[in-house]
Structure 1
């Protein structure tokens, strides 16, 4: 058997119940992505520290020789499709997505402490996250989402509100959501311009939308979002 494709005893739970599996792992609600989980980190260390298989170098040398690795490649022939990795969540009846890179963690709902003479519809107040106070905002009000008593059909079997923590240029923002689906990947060419009659999340903050699970997901412009928050909330 080829040592290049030789199986290992390392656990691959992320491919079964993790972000590249069926998303059923209960730890995803805490760690957001498998790469943040200690099980994934431990598996990575085991992989790096294990001894190479017998004839490992010889087989790779033969493989590179057969495939012509190292030859000149015309940059014009390289694939240009860009993959977008996003966190999908629900506010009111709207399914929204933000680039996963802006998020630090998810937490259970926390008590929001209002700030005298500062709290308003967008700035709700302060929340305690792991012993540190952070600004809590209402993304629903910032996006001008319509408040409704109608609950849309859920994606998950169990639905519970959470708080998402995101960070940009040293500023941390916390906001509550009604439901989190998790992390999803899209190709950039799947992104569509929002139709003019699209009565959904404020189009000002939307880069476009994806069709996903028979739903429309608005892909939010995180740079514009952070810029607006800094202007409207920070002193």
Structure 2
């Protein structure tokens, strides 16, 4: 009959010497990448305009601000230019992505269980800053570049030409806007 207490048995089993093969096997186990996991090596800010969920690279984002109505700029009628907005004492040209991308800004609805607030995304392309009104802000989406899928052929053609791909975020499919394609369009709205 074994009269040694269970705690004493555990202590005795851990007191023994550990050989190099045992250490090597466990080191290899923890060094191996997790099966089926991918490193999220990219990020974007996801938002909704109308019924479309879109995202811009986080490198473009300066800040998120409350939505304010833009002041019209006289003698400027470029497509997308809504006017200028004052955010924190600084003026930003307000560009409507809905107009540039051909999206119905009135479409879409809020996701259930969430309060939806219109916001302004303050973004920078090259040396210029812009305010982009959005209907809803999801937040930052992290994803693996290898998981980006091509846009579906049924996507609005105005949006499709500015997309670099689509990623899944929970139950949403988010279109990734290509900054190199969209940036010149933002700047063109100021001419």
TM-score (normalised: structure 1)? 0.61
Please, which of 66, 74, 77 is the counterpart of residue 116 of structure 1?
74
Residue 94 of structure 1 is matched in structure 2 by 52
Gaps of 5+ in 1: 1-66, 68-79
Cα distance between partner residues in 2 of 1:178 and 1:136: 14
Instruction: From the superposition, tell whether residues 108 and 148 of structure 1 become closer, same or farther in structure 2 (CA, over 3 Å).
Output: closer
How far residue 150 of structure 1 moved from its aligned partner, in angstroms, is 4.5
- Per the alignment, residue 193 of structure 1 pairs with 150
How much does 1:81 deviate? 6.0
Indicate whether 1:107 and 2:65 are aligned: yes
> Per chain length, whose mean CA-contact separation is higher, i.e. which structure has more relative contact order (CA < 8 Å, sep 6+)?
2
Q: 1:184 to 1:201 in 2, by over 3 A?
A: farther
Mapped partners of 2:149, 2:143: distance in 1: 12
Out of 161, 175, 178, which is 1:218 matched to?
A: 175
SS of 2:182 mapped into structure 1: helix
Provide, for residues 102-141 of structure 1, a one-character-per-residue CA deviation record: whole Å limited to 9, x for no partner: 0011111113110111044400001001111110000011
Is the Cα–Cα contact under 8 Å of residues 48 and 137 in structure 2 kept in the other structure?
yes
Deviations 1:142-173 (Å, cap 9, x if unpaired)?
1111344452534x621111111001221010
Larger Rg: 2
Gaps in structure 2 of 5+ consecutive residues: 1-26, 28-37
Distance 2:173 2:157 in 1: 9
Q: Hey, which of these two has a bigger chunk of strand by percent?
A: 2
Aligned to 1:180: 137
Q: Provide runs of 4+ in structure 1 moved above 6 Å.
A: none
**Cα distance in 2, alignment partners of residues 201 and 93 from structure 1:** 14
- Number of the residue aligned with 2:126: 169
Distance, in Å, in 2 between the alignment partners of 1:182 and 1:96 is 11
The DSSP-based 3-state class of the residue aligned with 2:186 is helix
- Distance change (3 Å), C-alpha of 1:122 and 1:116: same
State the secondary structure of the residue aligned to 1:202.
helix
Does structure 1 conserve the Cα–Cα contact (< 8 Å) formed by 2:71 and 2:85?
yes
| CA distance in 2: counterparts of 1:150 and 1:111, whole angstroms | 21
Change (3 A) 1:152 1:227: same
2:56 maps to 1:125: no
Tell whether the 8 Å contact from 2:65 to 2:119 is kept in structure 1 after alignment. Answer: yes
Number of paired residues? Answer: 155
